Amino acid sequence: MAETVSKEQVVRWLRAAAESMREQKQLLTRLDKAIGDGDHGINMDRGFGKVLEELDGAADLAGVLKTAAMALISSVGGASGPLYGTFFLRASAAAAGKEELSASDLHTLMEAGLEGVCQRGKAHAGDKTMIDALLPAVQAFGRALAEAEDLSSALAGAVEAARRGAEATIPLIARKGRASYLGERSVGHQDPGATSSYLLLKALQDSLV
């Protein structure tokens, strides 16, 4: 794996994410039926399908991320569209003017996206949301880079942290979104948003190999 990420690789990431959301649509829908409206898989598949339709019009790396943001906001229902859209919109701003991303740039981009999601969703770690996957992933990525790990190793650690974070939502009580209406009945179910966040980061890892 190269130590920088190009526009073409970001496009490859989004294409891999779209493929993953399509392949895992039934899983995400099943998870969401247990504690939500049952449409998360359908929404994510539709949203990233829309992203693919719009990608050719992006002029640069930041433009690719902004295109993804606007496509998700316009096509994904419920809270997921604005949240994932905000993630990519903040990431786009962090990537402005860059022809490629260093590992440090990628971490900055992920931090910016996470901050946007936290602000937009007004959620915190432990609320049983996508933040429970994104936050440990971003933290793990940052720690790995601080310890001078290469991009491949740092990203692998981030993806594993996201996977564990998503699984760790199972015993939590949901405190945000539709699932919060269930109270203690939300315990025992993995959060669909945390799961799709893991899939998004796994697609990034797979696309950079």
Per-residue pLDDT of the chain (209 residues; tens, 9 = 90+): 678 999 999 999 999 999 999 999 999 999 999 988 889 999 999 999 999 999 988 889 999 999 999 999 999 877 889 999 999 999 999 999 999 999 999 999 999 999 999 999 999 999 999 999 999 999 999 999 999 999 999 999 999 999 999 999 999 999 877 777 677 888 999 999 999 999 999 999 999 87
User: Is the torsion defined by CA of 13, 15, 19, 21 positive or negative?
Assistant: positive
**Calpha distance 140→2 (Å, rounded):** 20
- For 115, counting Cβ atoms within 10 Å of its Cβ (0-12 exposed, 13-18 middle, 19+ buried), the class is middle
pLDDT at residue 179 in the model: 78
Give the per-residue pLDDT at 1: 66
In the block, which residue shows the tokens 């002029």?
59
3-state secondary structure (DSSP) of residue 86: helix
- Do the beta carbons of residue 27 and residue 195 sit within 8 Å? yes
Nearest to 55 by CA among 31, 71, 37, 43: 71
What is the pTM (predicted TM-score) of this model?
A: 0.95
Q: For position 5, what pLDDT does the model report?
A: 94
The closest alpha carbon to 51, from 64, 37, 34, 35, belongs to 64
- Joined together, the tokens standing for residue 179 give 């699932």
Q: Could you give all domains of the chain from N- to C-terminal order, each with its CATH number?
A: 4-208 (1.25.40.340)
- pLDDT for res 156: 97
Q: Look at residue 37 in the predicted model and tell me its pLDDT.
A: 86
Query: Using CA atoms, how far apart are residues 130 and 121, in angstroms rounded to an integer?
Result: 10
- CB burial of 48-72 (b: ≥16 within 10 Å; e: otherwise) equals bebbbebbeebebbbbbbbbbbbbb
